[in-house]
Structure 1
Amino acid sequence: MSQRLDFYKSSPEAIKAMMGLEHRVSKSTLEKSLIELVRLRASQINGCAYCMDMHSADARKAGENERRLATLGAWRETPFFTDRERAALAWTEALTLIVNDHVPDNAWEAVQPHFSPEELTDLTLLIVAINGWNRFAIAFRAQPA
């Protein structure tokens, strides 16, 4: 498989807009490790190899351990994630797979106690951003380095 288009070069203004989302996420109070887990989980669901490669490396740089990374796809069956992380991962899955259930009440009820309103908005923005990046990378067949 070869890359179809270098989207970074083809429309710098589009990438600038996407980077605006990333800038806000970086200014949020969300933990760096949580941010990378969310990015990686959404990328796993979407099957984005480029983003999975990038965000697993970024998670390691942020101090994430191999055991948690190896079991992220089965986070419900492991004791390795906090309640806050579990809530964020469930929210990530609900928003990434929005066509399935349109974010059911149980996803909201699970996430809401663990995050302030600002954090919930920032978490949702993070999920929106990574799903957008996944779609750029998948559509244009970005390749891991």
Structure 2
Amino acid sequence: MEQRIKFTETGKNALATLYPVGKYLKQTTLDQQLLHLIYYRVSQINGCAFCLDMHAKDLRAGGETEQRLYVLDAWREAPFYSDKERAALAWAEALTKLNSSLVPDAVYKEAAEHFTEKEMVDLTLAVTTINTYNRFNIAFGAPVGTYKVGQFA
């Protein structure tokens, strides 16, 4: 897809409103590598190539294995993820897909076993934020493959 809007020019002020959210999320008790895993999975669901490229690079820079990245879209069948990661992935998928008016009770209960109430709120904020970034990138054709690790730190 051809880039429709150059974010660094036209969209920078709108996207800049999201930057404090990212800064906030970096200061939470949530593991940053887990957040990148969630960002990667949500971007898979939404088909956001720019975010997939970015978060794959960030995950690899953080020590993530190729094997876990390759099978992330089949995490339920793969033995490579912890119970906490599985709970976070299920929560992220339920919030991204919105198949009904509420996240299923079982998904909530599983996540609540691994995360505090504040962490649940923070995890939800992280999922909704990556969904927003995905939609901007998909709508306007972000330049896939240009991201460098730490570029938006």
Q: TM-score, normalised by structure 2?
A: 0.90
- The number of aligned residues is 144
Instruction: Name stretches of at least 5 consecutive residues in structure 2 with no aligned partner.
Output: 147-153
Contact 1:43 1:134 (8 Å CA) reproduced: yes
Helix, strand or coil at the partner of 2:71? helix
Q: Secondary structure at the match of 1:11?
A: helix
Alpha-carbon offset, residue 10 of structure 1: 1.1
> What secondary structure sits across from 2:17 in the alignment?
helix
Give the aligned partner of residue 68 of structure 1: 68
Alpha-carbon contact 1:44-1:73 (below 8 Å) kept: yes
Question: Whole-Å Cα distance in 1 between the matches of residues 39 and 90 of structure 2?
Answer: 13
Tell me which residue corresponds to 1:47: 47
In structure 2, C-alpha distance between the alignment counterparts of 1:71 and 1:33, rounded to whole Å: 17
What is the CA distance between 1:13 and its match in structure 2?
2.5
Is the 1:8–1:15 contact (alpha carbons within 8 Å) kept by the matching residues of 2? no
RMSD: 1.0
Gaps of 5+ in 1: none
Q: How far has the Cα of 1:21 moved from its partner?
A: 1.1
Could you tell me how far apart the structure 1 residues matched to 2:121 and 2:36 are?
17
Please give the secondary structure, in 2, of the residue aligned with 1:101: coil
Q: Residue 54 of structure 1 aligns to which amino acid in structure 2?
A: M
- Cα distance between partner residues in 2 of 1:15 and 1:9: 11
Task: Say if 1:7 and 1:136, in contact at 8 Å, map to a contact too.
Answer: no
Show structure 1 runs of 4+ deviating over 6 A.
none
TM-superposition CA deviations, 1:24-55 (whole Å, max 9, x none): 11111111210110000000000001100110
Deviates more, 1:103-112 or 1:43-52: 103-112
Q: Distance in 2 between matches of 1:136 and 1:11?
A: 9
Which digits, 9 at most, give the CA deviation of each residue in 1:107-130, with x for residues without a partner?
Answer: 111111100111111111100110
1:109 corresponds to which residue? 109
In the TM superposition, what is the alpha-carbon distance from 1:12 to its structure 2 partner? 2.8
Q: Distance in 2 between matches of 1:107 and 1:67?
A: 25
1:120 aligned counterpart, secondary structure: helix
Secondary structure of 1:77's counterpart equals coil
Question: Which residues of 2 match residues 97-136 of structure 1 at below 5 A?
Answer: 97-98=97-98, 100-102=99-101, 103-136=103-136
> In the alignment, which residue of structure 1 is the partner of 2:21?
21
Which structure carries more helix by proportion?
A: 1
CA contact (8 A) 1:42 1:96 kept: yes
Counterpart amino acid of residue 143 in structure 1? P
Cα distance in 1 for partners of 2:49, 2:73 equals 14
Residue in 2 aligned with 1:90? Answer: 90
